[in-house]
Structure 1
Amino acid sequence: MPLTSLPVLSLEAPAEDFSQDIGNSFRTFGFAMVKDHGIDRELIDRAWKLTAEFFDRPRDEKQKYFLEGLAGARGYTPFGTEIAKDAKAHDLKEFWHVGRDLPDGHPLADDQPNNVWPEAPEGFRETMEALFAAFDATGAKILSRIAGYLGLDEHWFEGPIEDGNSVMRLLHYPPLGDAAEEGAIRAGAHEDINLITLLLGAEEAGLQLKTRQGEWLDVSPPDGALAINVGDMLQRLTNHYLPSTTHRVINPSGERARHSRYSMPFFLHLRSDYKFETLPQCITEENPDRYPVSITADDYLKQRLREIGLLK
Structure 2
Amino acid sequence: MSKDLLVSLDDKLHARRERFDKIPIVDIGPLLDGTDKHRVSREIRWALSNAGFMYVKNHGIQQDLIDSVFTVSRRFFDLPLSEKTLLHISNSDVAFRGYIEPFGENTNPGKTKDLKECFDFGPERSVLEGPFFGPNQWPSSWPEFRELTYGYHQRMVALAKKLLQGIALSLDLSEGYFENLMRNPISIQRLLHYPPQSGHVSEDMIGIGAHTDYGNLTILAQDDVGGLQVLNRDGDWVQGTPIQGTFIINIGDLIQRLTNDVYLANIHRVVNSSGRERYSVPFFIDADFDAVIEPLKSCVTDSNPQRYHPVTCGEHKLRRFAASYAHLAKA
- Superposition TM-score, scaled by structure 2 size: 0.85
Residue 304 of structure 1 corresponds to: 320
Residue 212 of structure 1 corresponds to: 233
Q: Distance in 2 between matches of 1:122 and 1:103?
A: 17
Q: How does 1:110-149 map to 2 (within 5 A)?
A: 110-111=130-131, 112-149=133-170
Contact preservation (8 Å) 1:87, 1:188: no
Residue 296 of structure 2 corresponds to: 279
Q: Which runs of 4+ in 1 moved over 4 A?
A: 177-182
Q: Distance in 1 between matches of 2:115 and 2:86?
A: 20
Residue 21 of structure 1 corresponds to: 43
Residue 64 of structure 1 corresponds to: 86
Contact preservation (8 Å) 2:228, 2:239: yes
For 2:117, which of 94, 106, 116 is the aligned residue? Answer: 94
Q: Distance in 2 between matches of 1:174 and 1:120?
A: 26
Summarize deviations over 1:3-24 as a string: whole Å, max 9, x none: 9622211111321111110110
Name the aligned partner's letter for residue 83 of structure 1.
N
Residue 83 of structure 1 corresponds to: 106
Residue 185 of structure 1 corresponds to: 206
For 2:97, which of 69, 74, 82 is the aligned residue? Answer: 74
Residue 308 of structure 2 corresponds to: 291
Q: What fraction of aligned residue pairs are identical, expressed as a percent?
A: 33
Q: Distance in 1 between matches of 2:229 and 2:269?
A: 5
Q: Distance in 2 between matches of 1:36 and 1:168?
A: 21
Give the match's secondary structure for 2:294. coil
The structure in which a higher percent of residues are helix is 2
Q: How does 1:148-159 map to 2 (within 5 A)?
A: 148-159=169-180
Shift in CA distance, 120/9, structure 1 to aligned 2, threshold 3 Å: farther
Q: Distance in 2 between matches of 1:67 and 1:251?
A: 24
Range with greater deviation from structure 2 (122-131 or 95-104): 95-104
RMSD: 2.2
Give the match's secondary structure for 1:157. helix
For 2:76, which of 54, 64, 67 is the aligned residue? Answer: 54
Q: Distance in 1 between matches of 2:21 and 2:99?
A: 39
Residue 225 of structure 1 corresponds to: 246
Summarize deviations over 1:31-81 as a string: whole Å, max 9, x none: 000011111222111111111111000000000000326368201111111
Q: Distance in 1 between matches of 2:229 and 2:123?
A: 29
Range with greater deviation from structure 2 (114-123 or 159-168): 114-123
Contact preservation (8 Å) 2:77, 2:193: yes
Q: Which runs of 5+ in 2 are unaligned?
A: 1-19, 31-35
